[in-house]
Amino acid sequence: MGILEVNNVNKSFGGLKALQNVNLDIEEGKIHAIIGPNGAGKSTLLNCFVGKLVPDTGTVMFNGQSLLGIKPHEINQVGVSRVFQTPEIFSELSVFENVMIPCFAKRDGAFTLNALNRVHSEQDIRERAEEMLVDVNLIDKRDMIASSMSRGDKRRLEMAMCLSQQPKLLLLDEPTAGMARADTESTIELLKTIQERLKITMAIIEHDMGVVFSLAQKISVLAQGTVIVEDLPENIKGHPKVKEAYLGEAQV
Amino acid sequence: MDALLLQILNGLDKGSAYALIALGLTLIFGTLGVVNFAHGALFMVGAFCAVTLQHIIGLSKITIDPTKVDFLGNPAKVKTPYVVEWFGESAGMTIIDWAVPLALLFSIPVMLLIGYAMERGLIKHFYKRPHADQILVTFGLAIVIGEIVKTNFGATEIQVPAPDSLAGVSDIGAMFGMGAGQLAYPTWRIVYFFFALGIIGAIFAFLRFTTFGMVVRAGMADRETVGLLGINIDRRFTIMFAIAAVVAGLAGVMYTPIKPPSYELGMQFLVISFVVVVVGGMGSLPGAVAAGFMLGILESFASMNVVKSFFEAIYLPSIDQIIIYLVAIIVLLTRPRGLMGKAGVMEE
Amino acid sequence: MKSLAKSDKRTLLFVIFIAIAAPFLLNPFPEGSAMAQFNAGYPDLMQRFAYFGVLAIGFNILFGLTGYLSFGHAAFLGVGSYSAVWMFKLLGMNIIPGLILSVIVAGIFSLLIGYISLRRSGIYFSILTLAFAQMSFAMAYSVLTPLTNGETGLQVYADDPQVFMNENSIAVPHLFGLKMQDTFTLDIGPWAFQFNIGYYICALFLIAAFYMSLRIFRSPFGLMLRAIKTNQTRLNYTGINTRPYTLAAFVISGMYAGLAGGLMASMDPLAGAERMQWTASGEIVLMTILGGAGTLIGPVLGAGFIKYFENIFSKINETVLHGWFAFLPDGLENAIVWVLHFFVGKGWHLTLGLLFMAIVIFLPGGLMEGAQRIGNWWKNRRAKGKTSSAKTTPAE
Amino acid sequence: MSNFTRRGLLKTTAIAGAGLAMPTLITSPVAAYTNAPTGGSVTLGFNVPQTGPYADEGADELRAYQLAVEHLNGGGDGGMMNTFSSKELKGNGILGKKVEYVTGDTQTKSDAARASAKSMIEKDGAVMITGGSSSGVAIAVQGLCQEAGVIFMAGLTHSNDTTGKDKKANGFRHFFNGYMSGAALAPVLEARYGKDRNAYHLTADYTWGWTQQESIAAATEAKGWNTVNNVLTPLATTDFSSYVAPVLNSGADVLVLNHYGGNMINSLTSAVQFGLRDKVVNNKNFEIVVPLYSRLMARGAGENVKGIFGSTNWHWSLTDEGTKAFVKSFGEKYGFPPSQAAHTTYVQTLLYADACERAGTFNPCGVAEALEGFKFDGLGNGPTEYRAEDHQCFKDVLVVKGKENPTSEFDVLEVVEITPRAQVEYAPDHPMFAGGNLGACNSGA
């Protein structure tokens, strides 16, 4: 019984079938990677989980609850967070404010008319945000405006924002894309420690096979809109179907 | 039926003006990403090109005629236009009569120059600034342009008549086999409609079939990529701005016989042209044109007595006061990005 | 006050000081001097500064924080004014019922318009609000004349019901007997400082409005609004429903506008339809951008700036100019007057337009940026002064 | 910055302290009346539109005011002061005080006009406000002057309401009104166009338009005309084609344009464009009528006004002594003849000054009393009376028409008939003027 169950999901745009009968089962507490060549439908699938897209047919169940037709903020409120391919952060706000916002969302829900309290006197939120910034090693930059940070820092910030909500399921869309080697390493370490400490279920879309194999506990391979293989990492390497799908595109 | 046809013609007329202004506005939005609150002022400047030319052509030699007196009892001054003196009575008067069409030629270099100067001198520096700043600076510019015109021409409307041969009414009903006099329509307004169609067609053809136009269209879609190709897109955008200014100017020149211009003409058309652009959909040229004609025709229908009394019966009196805005609201609520808008253009 | 940070306290005290001392600060030139033309310390203009300040502060809560550019805020100002005048007509000239009703009605009105308009964003939102406001204006000017008195504006007539009034009641707007129009003049030498009750009531509301906006700016709610401005997508994926936030901001700013309208009517019990026109909405936008959108004091400065030009510069005529330059030789005097007369009197629009352009070109952050630059320059100068002659500068 | 603040604070405290210690310094307005002039001069407030659509009229009004001030102070040739039947004005200012003035911009908006008038009263100490070029503004400012306790001498305002349902004890109007336009025009229209006519009205959709339409319709219907239709047009309309087009097939043979300013220029232009003037309906030539004419607007409408009837308060081509004197001094100073707006504002200024002289005070109540029922002559309109009941001037009204062969750019209208006062007079409680209450005069004390 997985925390996220995807059954027979189909999605097409005009004549193009982006997803065909996709089935996926993400187990609680595991890191599950979704890989596949460009245009395989990975991002489309992710968008179906967070309410950005609605599948034409099929079901997406999270903890036994359907996610279809639910608005993005409601999906987040039930415990699904997402890290984007290009960091989505509040670029005009300070780093600290960036992390406080998800903390407020977690504590106060989707809407609270909290207009007379001071942000500065919300001790619990501040402490939590500070902890989170320490975790991702951004505490020195807490008063920086987010847009002035490096790309790697922005990614870490976004991850901190998602993790600060202690989601049940964290979706990561190429979390290390465009990162320097050292940053990639530290991100892998970060994800590992977080996962071990908080037992957060993660679904990762990733191109970098190094990252995939050092993190994933299970891998689904998507090609042309369908899941062709779902197996443990060691079984994926050298799997003929996977090789066929990639056609030597990546060194599997 | 005749009444309906008449109102459709009226609507096409109004729509022509709306569409021409909105077209330029959309070009500027789409290519430069600039909210130009001074676009109405450009339309007004165009109209005053006609006024200016009329004044220039009408420049007169003043002679004293002792047989007549002016209002103070002094000998009256008699004016003879120089053109009459130079080219003789009939040719001179013909030139004066054709001031508006001549003003088209006069306005093109003027508007090109104004457009070029405006873009290079001011708008250029606002590409990367927030839309709010663009609004403030172009609104300031619109006020300044208006005030300059007011200082020179006063605040009251000025008549700039159409050439005599085009000033009357044409019996277009007869052309289509109706009874004589069934459907008569002012000739100049028909000219205006076809003129507008011509300009709109020319702009579309220009963007579609010339390399220049293709680069600009590519730039509208994705400015950075085109920039990466090593094409000097900025220079083309400057030219595009100047072209938009010319379109507004020509529309203004031709509009003078329909509505005598005053310095407030620009402000009168500013709001409506923005509504047209947005109803058409941001970044869509066909949308702007379609919305222009649609709103023009609906506005004309709304002013019909039958329509007015119908809406009065359902507790919406004076529908003609609010029709434009009502339509705008309905369109924007049913179609998120207007008639043909592109996603992500000025939605942030 | 406890809930404010130190710097905010200082800002608030600064605003309170300015508001109280305005009759002095705005009247720097002695009566009868040539420069007295530039004095702005008379009741009507001071009242205008105050209630347009309230209006701009409210608009800034919407535009400055969330980035939603409403082009129809004048409609709320208008309904606020109409509500207040109707209270004067029906109940009596005490301003309290009028102010309460104006805030409530503007709140309801903005809830309706906001609920519909906020379904769209960006320029689509702006045009929706513009459309609603223009419809309100067109109807108020024509069909709704029984309710608004159309072109002339709604005013109080002697034969209105005014149920709380008898023969001995005060016939002008008042607050429990304090007449809005009462002014006390303090003559000091050649100066005449005017202290007007209406102004101080407005100033009180301005301070309260400013304090409220300060609280909102610093609150979690304000943080969410700023987050909406920078990245609405992220906020959605962070579990925040942005619509109620924007709607709340819209309604709050609408109520501010309603209050401003109520105050406007209380100071001068006539509500004209033009104050709902798009030009009036545009003026609110200009005030905010001019002063510095998103800053606390900026919008108030912007409001003051525009109203100052409208009321002071439009009154400078050629005779005044000749008066100023009479000491010059005739030819020079006439030349200067001829040049200047394009910019004042009937040309005040030109000056305003040029200043709009100049400010947005040279001070991208509006007047607040100007103030900051002056502040920095001053600090630097002082810092230099300190190093060169440490003794002369007293400690902070 | 902090230095400055501290110094400012100290100053304030000192002054506040002084104020507390010497309460006599604080003076509340306990003078006999608002802005009683104390020095050797008296300040008048000229509140005219300097921006917006009526800016040209405002400019002309301002010229007339300046001329009036010059004459009152003994400058120039004295203009109509020489022909005025009352000989109180001596060219030594008013009551011996030099006349000074302040100007403001109404922007043709009631709010802005009131703001401007207030600043004149509160800041500049104006004892009288005059001006305006539209009825909404005039009524708004009149109400303000009533509250503030100063006299309001209305400028160009044509709505019945100004001296009807919105009349005020402190407000006076020299200009004529919609009812008078109708009463003066109807007989002329009947004489020229016959009894059996079908009129189609286009009316600006706001208060002035409505009262104007009501007046004209009533007056013409009394002469046997039939009102086919009355269509209200939005104020913001720039292209009237969609309103004019239906007239063609409506069976009407007269089009009445109850428009003013830009509206009138635009609607007339559209009507002429659609060839209405060349049409023959019901075997009669189609005619257009513009009830309220102004020369500035007629000029804006250009050729289109030729032969079109309307009414005005005054026209420079009149030949009485007063008109001649005024046109001469105005024309010599500015180089062109004055408009009716200039005339009415000039006359209002003289009338106010004269009333002050006769009352011996600037006190609004004294001035109002002197003006009420005042009969005078020599100011261009023939014998005139300020009726006490509603503060409306009663005098002859001019019916004019667009001149076929103008000799100059100012010569666009010609006077067709001078309708005598008796024909345009009405009872103060006439239904079109009912509902108002003059109230008591307010001196602000």
Residue B293 has a pLDDT of 95
Task: Quick: pLDDT tens for A90-129.
Answer: 999 999 999 999 999 999 999 999 888 898 889 999 999 9
Judge if D129 and D216 occupy the same domain: no
What does B7-49 look like in DSSP terms, one character per residue?
Answer: HHHHHHHHHHHHHHHHHHHHHHHHHH----TTHHHHHHHHHHH
Inside any domain, residue D435 = no
**Does D412 contact B at CB distance below 8 Å?**
no
For residue D309, with 0-12 CB atoms within 10 Å meaning exposed, 13-18 middle and 19 or more buried, which class applies?
A: buried
Which of 221-280 (D) contact B at CB < 8 A?
229, 231-234, 236, 238-239, 241-243, 245-246, 248-249, 262, 265-266, 269-270, 273-275, 278
Mean pLDDT lowest among A30-44, B247-261, D76-90: A30-44
pLDDT at B35 over 70: yes
Judge if D212 and D152 occupy the same domain: no
Task: Quick: pLDDT tens for A56-71.
Answer: 899 999 988 898 888 9
Strands (E), D9-134: 26-27, 41-48, 98-105, 128-131
Inside any domain, residue B183 = yes
Residue A179 has a pLDDT of 76
Residues of C with Cβ-Cβ distance to D27 under 8 angstroms:
184-185, 187
Total count of domains within chain C: 1
**pLDDT, chain C, mean:** 90
Secondary element (H or E) of residue D196 = none
Lookup: tokens for C58: 């409210």
Say how many CA atoms lie within 13 Å of C272 toward its Cβ.
23
Tell me the shortest Cα–Cα distance from B218 to chain D, in angstroms: 37
Residue D172 has a pLDDT of 96
Inside any domain, residue C371 = no
Range D166-177 average pLDDT: 94
Judge if D157 and D66 occupy the same domain: yes
Residue B227 has a pLDDT of 65
**pLDDT, chain A, mean:** 87
Judge if D308 and D343 occupy the same domain: no
Where residue C220 falls among pLDDT bands split at 50, 70, 90? very high
Domains identified in chain A and CATH numbers: 1-79+167-252 (3.40.50.300), 91-166 (no CATH)
Q: How far apart are CA A20 and CA A23, in angstroms?
A: 9
Where residue A211 falls among pLDDT bands split at 50, 70, 90? confident
Residue C175 has a pLDDT of 92
Where residue A196 falls among pLDDT bands split at 50, 70, 90? confident
**Does A76 contact C at CB distance below 8 Å?**
yes
Range C20-37 average pLDDT: 88
Residue D83 has a pLDDT of 94
Judge if D172 and D320 occupy the same domain: yes
Judge if D194 and D154 occupy the same domain: no
- Reference A104, options A85, A117, A94; nearest CA is A117
Residue C387 has a pLDDT of 61
pLDDT at B316 over 50: yes
Which residue matches tokens 């991850």?
A: A159
Residue A1 has a pLDDT of 59
Inside any domain, residue D399 = no
Give the 3-state secondary structure of residue A105: helix
Where residue D13 falls among pLDDT bands split at 50, 70, 90? very low
Tell me the shortest Cα–Cα distance from B253 to chain C, in angstroms: 24
Residues of B with Cβ-Cβ distance to D296 under 8 angstroms:
156
Where residue B181 falls among pLDDT bands split at 50, 70, 90? low
Contact indicator for B321, B274 with CB cutoff of 8 Å: no
Residue A143 has a pLDDT of 93
Cβ contact C357–B135 (<8 Å):
no
Inside any domain, residue C73 = yes
Judge if D300 and D188 occupy the same domain: yes
pLDDT at D3 over 60: no
Rg of chain D (C-alpha set): 24
Inside any domain, residue B80 = no
Strands (E), chain B: 60-69, 75-81, 169-171, 184-186
**Does A53 contact C at CB distance below 8 Å?**
no
Inside any domain, residue C259 = yes
Residue C170 has a pLDDT of 85
Residue C137 has a pLDDT of 93
Domain at B107, CATH number? 1.10.3470
pLDDT at C199 over 70: yes
- Reference B197, options B15, B49, B40; nearest CA is B15
**pLDDT, chain B, mean:** 88
Residue B226 has a pLDDT of 67
The residue that leads in pLDDT, D4 or D393, is D393
Cβ contact D26–C185 (<8 Å):
yes
Inside any domain, residue B302 = yes
- Reference C118, options C234, C258, C251; nearest CA is C251
Cβ contact C24–D15 (<8 Å):
yes
Q: Please give the residue range of the domain that contains residue D184.
A: 180-312
Where residue B145 falls among pLDDT bands split at 50, 70, 90? very high
Determine the residue of chain C that is closest to D161 in CA distance.
C152
Where residue B180 falls among pLDDT bands split at 50, 70, 90? low
> Any bridge partners for residue D280, and if so which?
D285
Inside any domain, residue C360 = no
Q: Please give the residue range of the domain that contains residue B252.
A: 2-57+99-334
**pLDDT, chain D, mean:** 88
Residue B129 has a pLDDT of 86
Per DSSP bridges, beta strands A4-13 and A57-62 are: antiparallel
Per DSSP bridges, beta strands A201-205 and C178-179 are: unpaired
pLDDT at D14 over 80: no
Range A234-242 average pLDDT: 81
Cβ within 8 Å of residue B45, ≥6 positions away: B110, B111, B114, B145, B149, B249, B252, B266
Task: Quick: pLDDT tens for C87-96.
Answer: 999 999 999 9
Q: Classify the C-alpha dihedral D417-D422-D428-D430 as positive or negative.
A: negative
Cβ contact B347–C123 (<8 Å):
yes
Domain at C158, CATH number? 1.10.3470
Q: Please give the residue range of the domain that contains residue C12.
A: 6-277
Dihedral angle over CA of B331, B337, B338, B341, nearest 10: -170
Inside any domain, residue C382 = no
Residue C189 has a pLDDT of 83
Inside any domain, residue B346 = no
Range D113-128 average pLDDT: 93
The residue that leads in pLDDT, B239 or C32, is B239
Residue A249 has a pLDDT of 52
Cβ contact C122–B348 (<8 Å):
yes
pLDDT at D1 over 60: no
Total count of domains within chain D: 2
Total count of domains within chain B: 1
Say how many CA atoms lie within 13 Å of B291 toward its Cβ.
34
pLDDT at B344 over 80: no
Task: Quick: pLDDT tens for B60-118.
Answer: 888 888 877 777 778 888 888 888 888 888 888 888 888 899 999 999 999 999 999 99
Choose the closest CB to C139 out of B129, B271, B322. Answer: B322
pLDDT at D16 over 70: no
What does B94-118 look like in DSSP terms, one character per residue?
Answer: HHHHTHHHHHHHHHHHHHHHHHHHH
Q: What angle do CA D8, D13, D17 make, to 5 degrees?
A: 150
Residue D435 has a pLDDT of 84
Cβ contact B184–D205 (<8 Å):
no
Cβ contact C151–D116 (<8 Å):
no
Inside any domain, residue B65 = no
Do you know the residue count of chain A? 252
What is the value of pTM for the model shown? 0.91
Tell me the shortest Cα–Cα distance from A184 to chain C, in angstroms: 23
Mean pLDDT lowest among A228-237, B289-298, C95-104: A228-237
Judge if D45 and D165 occupy the same domain: yes
Cβ contact C289–B136 (<8 Å):
yes
Cβ contact D206–C186 (<8 Å):
no
Mean pLDDT lowest among C67-71, D36-40, D89-93, D184-188: D36-40
Residues of C with Cβ-Cβ distance to D114 under 8 angstroms:
268, 270
Judge if D270 and D339 occupy the same domain: no
Lookup: tokens for A193: 């420690």
Inside any domain, residue C143 = yes
- Identify the chains in contact with B, defined as 3+ C-beta pairs within 8 A: C, D
pLDDT at D254 over 80: yes
Q: Are A and B close enough to touch, i.e. 3+ CB pairs under 8 angstroms?
A: no
Task: Quick: pLDDT tens for D381-425.
Answer: 999 999 999 999 999 999 999 998 888 888 889 999 999 999 999
Q: How far apart are CA D295 and CA D301, in angstroms?
A: 10
**Does D24 contact C at CB distance below 8 Å?**
no
